[in-house]
């Protein structure tokens, strides 16, 4: 009986230690619930992975691009993403405030590379316990989705 109790204790101890370890990732970047630092729209990240190296983002949002992007977003993304709450993946309503345009474009177009190389995305994979599948969106559509996402933070609720 005694040894049984001890081995249970050992198991609990191991679980506590290992979860603390993994927990190190689910801090700022992993949460994706707006506690993450925000970037200016035109700020480019230091390390750029993936096939998109630069995105031209105008000061004003292009309404026709945003409209086209909304349609694609609703077909290809809403199965896993909502705007304001966590779902299968993180909420994307304010993603343009916490991530750069290059990051967002690469997440859409070069999902595999981002999952493999980007620290932030690796943390998200641990938090959401799955890897986002590449949605086979072309570059024009991805850019339209980005424009749609830019409308979200300022949109009247
Ligand atoms: C099958 C589910 C699924 C679909 C469909 C999906 N995603 Fe994701 N997405 C995820 C998951 C899960 C994550 C978290 C990272 C990971 O685990 O790979 C994520 C992460 C992201 C991120 C990073 C968010 C952040 O806070 O850094 C962006 C941007 C994104 N997705 C955009 C899209 C867009 C745009 C589409 C549609 C073209 C889409 N996703 C379709 C599951 C999905």
Would you say the CB of residue 142 lies under 6 angstroms from ligand 1? no
pTM of the entire predicted model: 0.80
User: pLDDT tier at 10 (50, 70, 90 boundaries)?
Assistant: low
Question: For the residues 13-33, what does the mean pLDDT come to?
Answer: 47
Would you say the CB of residue 133 lies under 6 angstroms from ligand 1? yes
What is the spatial distance between Cα 54 and Cα 8, in angstroms, rounded to a whole number?
A: 54
* DSSP category for residue 133: P
Tens of pLDDT, residue by residue over 50-109, are 999 999 998 999 999 999 999 999 999 999 999 999 999 999 999 999 999 999 999 999
Mutate to test the pocket of ligand 1, among 68, 96, 126, 132 (most ligand atoms within 8 A of CB): 132
Question: For the residues 39-55, what does the mean pLDDT come to?
Answer: 69
pLDDT higher than threshold 50 for residue 154: yes
**22 against 98, higher pLDDT:** 98
**pLDDT for residue 49:** 78
Backbone angles phi, psi at 48, to 5 degrees: -110, 115
Mean pLDDT of the chain: 82
The three-state secondary structure class of 103 is helix
User: pLDDT tier at 12 (50, 70, 90 boundaries)?
Assistant: low
Backbone angles phi, psi at 117, to 5 degrees: -110, -25
Q: Which residues of 11-37 are buried (b: 16+ CB within 10 A; e: fewer)?
A: eeeeeeeeeeeeeebeeebbebeeebe
**96 against 38, higher pLDDT:** 96
* 132 CA to centre of ligand 1 in angstroms: 5
Tens of pLDDT, residue by residue over 129-139, are 999 999 999 99
Domains of the chain: 28-151 (1.10.760.10)
The residue whose CA has the least distance to atom 6 of ligand 1 is: 77
Mutate to test the pocket of ligand 1, among 29, 81, 96, 149 (most ligand atoms within 8 A of CB): 81
**pLDDT for residue 35:** 40
Smallest CA-to-CA distance from 41 within 20, 55, 21 is with 55
**pLDDT for residue 111:** 97
pLDDT higher than threshold 80 for residue 25: no
Ligand 1, residue 79: give the atom nearest the CA.
Answer: 5
Report in angstroms the alpha-carbon separations of 24 from 19, 39, 47.
Answer: 9, 23, 22
* 44 CA to centre of ligand 1 in angstroms: 20
């Amino acid at each position: 009986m005694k040894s049984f109790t001890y081995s249970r204790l050992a198991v609990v101890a191991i679980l506590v230690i290992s979860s603390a370890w993994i927990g190190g990732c689910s801090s700022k970047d992993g949460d994706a619930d707006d506690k993450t630092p925000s970037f200016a729209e035109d700020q480019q990240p230091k390390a750029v992975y993936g096939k998109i190296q630069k995105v031209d983002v105008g000061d004003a949002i292009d309404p026709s691009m945003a409209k086209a992007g909304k349609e694609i977003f609703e077909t290809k993304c809403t199965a896993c993403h909502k705007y304001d709450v966590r779902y299968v993946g993180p909420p994307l309503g304010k993603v343009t405030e916490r991530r750069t345009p290059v990051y967002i474009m690469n997440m859409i177009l070069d999902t595999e590379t981002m999952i493999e190389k980007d620290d932030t995305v690796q943390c998200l994979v641990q938090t959401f316990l799955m890897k986002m599948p590449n949605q086979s969106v072309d570059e024009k559509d991805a850019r339209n989705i980005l424009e749609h996402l830019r409308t979200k933070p300022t949109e009247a609720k």
